[in-house]
Structure 1
Amino acid sequence: MTSTASPEPVTDDVPFLDIADPNFDFNSSAVASAQAKSWYAESPVGPVVLRYAEGQELLRDPRLGHGGTRLIDMQGITEGPVYDWYVSMIVTFDGEEHRRLRSLVTKAFTVRMINDLRPFIRAQAERLTDHIESVDVCEFVDDFGNPLPLAAMCQLLGVPGEDYATFKNWTMDIGLVLSFAHGGDVPARVEAAVVGLYDYVGALMDRKSAEPGNDLISALLAAQRDEGRVSRDEVLNLIVTLMFAAHDATRHQLANAMVTFSQHPDQWRLLGRRPELAAQAVEEVMRWSPSARTVLRWAEEDFDYHGLHITKGETVIVMTPATHRDPRAYRNPDSFDITVPRQTPPLQFGGGPHTCLGAALARAELGEALLVLARRLGPPSIAGPVTWRPPIGIYGPEMLPLRFG
């Protein structure tokens, strides 16, 4: 089922949703009511897109950009290693600069490379499941959700196994870059992670230049030499950014999947009996409980869109939990069902030129993980208090005690 945005008039009484409230519920009845009334709602941050078709259109609208440094500026970061890394990231650029950097990654990071990685991902999932199977209660994030994408990322990049533990802390902490507002030791942890990753990856690039291997860093360096349009510092930034994106979002999506299946045990048993449903299960999990709750864009100019005047510099937020349950785009959207082929892709990977480069890798990791876990273990159930990541940025459990079967 697909949906096309139509110029539906907006009512005079536009709904308001306080998404800045730390206790805001993205799946509340207030959100559903607002979606039924209007394609968008007002918020303290900017207009929030609630319907799929409008969200899909706006994510591809050239009048909306990725915002450059706005997101990091909102965190109060104006200088230092974290700022220098973030403002040079591929996601902060639009137009020709973005195309130049993205073309290098797409040339090196191929579908074949991801498919070649699948047996390794499956073997890691089997190994991690051995431990889960041996205990009554596991801490899923520590025992599976964290180490699986970490191992896959390190294997992809050619990081030696003995360095996985070091990478674990860095790649977890760098994911907090959008959570500086929570204070505490977060700023120090993010800065240490950025500095550590830059030093390590720089040295690893030097080794790969001298002795290339069958890994992504070697492929990126080869592509850089062929194209000659991307500097060494830009390749270094790309690799650190890939680490930031590849680990954090996937570990939270894996944990979100376990929470979802704990609420739908019959769907878990079905997946265990019918492994051919794994790809659909991945899409349904991402639709039902996306790890990226908001996708942000910024207006590059003044323009009008379906009754809403958007001002240059204004933030536009696509609320994925709402768009993923829009009845105009999905049949029975409030039902979690892995047997339903969902032809409408989730919006958490963005859209247009900025569609997430790691989407295929994330799907591969989720698919292999769910296949192994559902085949070997009974349905998960929550076995203790769950702690959650702050709602701004990537969202999911930080601690998730589970009992399987």
Structure 2
Amino acid sequence: MTAPTDAVTDAVTGSQEIPFLDVLDPAFRFDTPEVARAREANWYARTPLGVLVLRYAEAQELVRDARLTHNGKGFMEQNGIVDGPVYDWFVPALVNHDGADHRRMRGLVNKAFTPRMVEGLRPLIRATARRLAAELAGRQECDFFTEFADALPLVVMTELLGVPAEDFPVFRTWSSDIGLVFSLALGGDIPARVEAAVTGLYGYVEALMTDKAVDPGDDLISALVAAQRADATVSWDELLNLIVTMVFAAHDTTRLQLANAMVTFSEHPDQWTLLGRSPELAAQAVEEVMRWSPSSNAVYRYAGDTFEFRGETFDAGTMFMIGVQAVHRDPLAYPGGETFDVTVARQSPVLQFGGGPHYCLGAPLARMELSEALPALAEHLGPPSVAAPITWRPAIGITGPNELPLRFG
């Protein structure tokens, strides 16, 4: 399939009109009337990059469709990158493997990163969230990123991964900028920032792995290094690649989801007050926040071969981008979903963690951090309001505000 070059809709045989959305426009957002109209017109829109999936039923099916691959090489080449540090990290990354290779690499992680290990972090996460929230009480204004959204994942990374807290300033920018890999198509300074982040994180993580091979601790990276040595099915370079991705994911996606939550509650102060009075709503509030304003806003797949779907033929190599936030507003999957409401138990699971064999390994930990953080904040603090203008990361990737000065009522 080829995308039209303007906003005029095309028609395909026997189907509804296919809208066009310019996802490369820096001002593009998923929560706009234009996107809602496109979703109403059809289950997908054409874009300069490929197919943008807008409805939940089709999205849920496609993220599990074995005919679609992750094709990291194709993603890099589509963005004009055919070699170099970013290519060498992204193409062999776990998320871009399918089949036996994916099972082999994921199996190593599953040996060490167990549900019991994750649940064991809850007391630390709860105590840290409450301490950080209490420190904000009585303040006129705060830098939410520095004083909470960065601080909580740092404690988790220190305990879980064995990353020394004093090293955090060293890799903080890298772990944020590397997530812009999913926004490479927007150009500008993004490719250079991603390359600097990959280079920096590779050097830092390899030194950390080497230290833990000599002097292991009671942490996940030490366990993975030991498992790699005992089970040579995964190479040292593959493990290095995997841990670089884990360090970024453990920090950036969580801090941005916390920030997205605070912006959302600033627009719905009654919901914040309700959560403060009813902390038992925490788990439901987390799902509603991720539905309304997900930090992982696009899930990518590629057609491995030409295939049929919903009565249409899609060429091999076609990119499918799941527009997560748009899908999460689909009224067919979320009746009444045009309203943010933490009291509603939604029946359709959120899709920002993907689906099928590639369902995000860190989803339980992310949910735990959010479910402890939000009620702790709501208990100690009045409704948040954004204290100064903010700017936003691109919508077609790991997204959220670049800065977040807050006041609490």
Q: TM-score over 0.5 for the alignment? A: yes
Question: Hey, what does 2:4 align to over in structure 1?
Answer: none
1:187 Cα deviation (Å)?
Answer: 4.0
SS at match of 1:374: helix
Q: Does 1:103 align with 2:107?
A: yes
Letter in 1 for 2:265: F
1:158 Cα deviation (Å)?
Answer: 0.6
Question: Hey, what does 2:6 align to over in structure 1?
Answer: none
SS at match of 2:72: coil
Q: What is the TM-score with the length of structure 2 in the denominator?
A: 0.91
Structure-2 change in CA distance of 1:142 and 1:183 (3 Å): farther
1:324 Cα deviation (Å)?
Answer: 0.8
Q: Does 1:159 align with 2:179?
A: no
Question: Hey, what does 1:309 align to over in structure 2?
Answer: 313
For residues 279-358 of structure 1, the aligned pairs below 5 Å read 279-358=283-362
Partners of 2:205 and 2:244 within 8 A in 1:
yes
Cα deviation digits, residues 83-110 of structure 1 (max 9, x gap): 2112221112111111111111122111
SS at match of 1:285: helix
Q: Distance in 1 between matches of 2:134 and 2:319?
A: 46
Question: Hey, what does 1:6 align to over in structure 2?
Answer: none
1:247 Cα deviation (Å)?
Answer: 1.4
Letter in 2 for 1:155: E
Cα deviation digits, residues 104-143 of structure 1 (max 9, x gap): 1122111111111122222332333244224211121222
Larger deviation, residues 28-37 vs 391-400: 28-37
Letter in 1 for 2:126: R
Partners of 2:50 and 2:320 within 8 A in 1:
yes
Q: Does 1:376 align with 2:392?
A: no
Q: Distance in 1 between matches of 2:344 and 2:290?
A: 14
Question: Hey, what does 1:147 align to over in structure 2?
Answer: 151
SS at match of 2:203: helix
For residues 199-210 of structure 1, the aligned pairs below 5 Å read 199-210=203-214
Q: What is the TM-score with the length of structure 1 in the denominator?
A: 0.92
Larger deviation, residues 51-60 vs 135-144: 135-144
Q: Distance in 1 between matches of 2:235 and 2:45?
A: 43
Unaligned runs of 5+ in 1: 1-8
Residue of structure 1 aligned with 2:198, choices 194, 201, 209: 194
Q: Distance in 2 between matches of 1:259 and 1:222?
A: 42
Partners of 1:179 and 1:392 within 8 A in 2:
yes
Residue of structure 2 aligned with 1:246, choices 247, 250, 256: 250
Q: Distance in 1 between matches of 2:145 and 2:165?
A: 20
Structure-2 change in CA distance of 1:207 and 1:368 (3 Å): same
- Percentage identity across aligned positions? 59
Partners of 1:294 and 1:393 within 8 A in 2:
yes
Q: Does 1:214 align with 2:229?
A: no
Residue of structure 1 aligned with 2:133, choices 129, 146, 154: 129
Structure-2 change in CA distance of 1:79 and 1:134 (3 Å): farther
Q: Does 1:14 align with 2:18?
A: yes
SS at match of 2:322: strand
Letter in 2 for 1:369: A
Letter in 2 for 1:167: F
Structure-2 change in CA distance of 1:28 and 1:185 (3 Å): closer
Q: Distance in 1 between matches of 2:52 and 2:86?
A: 28
SS at match of 1:397: coil
Q: Distance in 1 between matches of 2:63 and 2:219?
A: 32
Q: Does 1:227 align with 2:231?
A: yes
SS at match of 1:389: coil
Question: Hey, what does 1:271 align to over in structure 2?
Answer: 275
Higher RCO (CA 8 Å, separation ≥ 6 residues): 1
1:73 Cα deviation (Å)?
Answer: 2.5
Unaligned runs of 5+ in 2: 1-12
Letter in 2 for 1:279: A
1:186 Cα deviation (Å)?
Answer: 4.2
Letter in 2 for 1:229: T
Q: Distance in 1 between matches of 2:379 and 2:214?
A: 43
1:177 Cα deviation (Å)?
Answer: 2.8
1:259 Cα deviation (Å)?
Answer: 0.8
Question: Hey, what does 2:404 align to over in structure 1?
Answer: 400
Partners of 1:121 and 1:148 within 8 A in 2:
yes
Larger deviation, residues 366-375 vs 19-28: 19-28
Q: Distance in 1 between matches of 2:381 and 2:312?
A: 50
Larger deviation, residues 97-106 vs 149-158: 149-158
Partners of 2:24 and 2:185 within 8 A in 1:
no
Cα deviation digits, residues 5-51 of structure 1 (max 9, x gap): xxxx9634222222222222312222222222322222222222111
For residues 37-186 of structure 1, the aligned pairs below 5 Å read 37-180=41-184, 186=190
Larger deviation, residues 331-340 vs 131-140: 131-140
Letter in 2 for 1:304: E
- RMSD over equivalenced CA pairs, Å: 1.9
Q: Distance in 1 between matches of 2:227 and 2:300?
A: 30
Q: Distance in 2 between matches of 1:97 and 1:123?
A: 39
Structure-2 change in CA distance of 1:66 and 1:157 (3 Å): same
SS at match of 2:18: coil
Q: Does 1:259 align with 2:263?
A: yes
Question: Hey, what does 1:5 align to over in structure 2?
Answer: none
Cα deviation digits, residues 185-237 of structure 1 (max 9, x gap): 54444333323322222222223223332211122123324433111111111
Larger deviation, residues 54-63 vs 236-245: 236-245
Partners of 2:178 and 2:198 within 8 A in 1:
yes
Question: Hey, what does 1:3 align to over in structure 2?
Answer: none
1:181 Cα deviation (Å)?
Answer: 5.2
Structure-2 change in CA distance of 1:38 and 1:206 (3 Å): same
1:67 Cα deviation (Å)?
Answer: 1.5
Letter in 2 for 1:292: S
SS at match of 1:21: coil
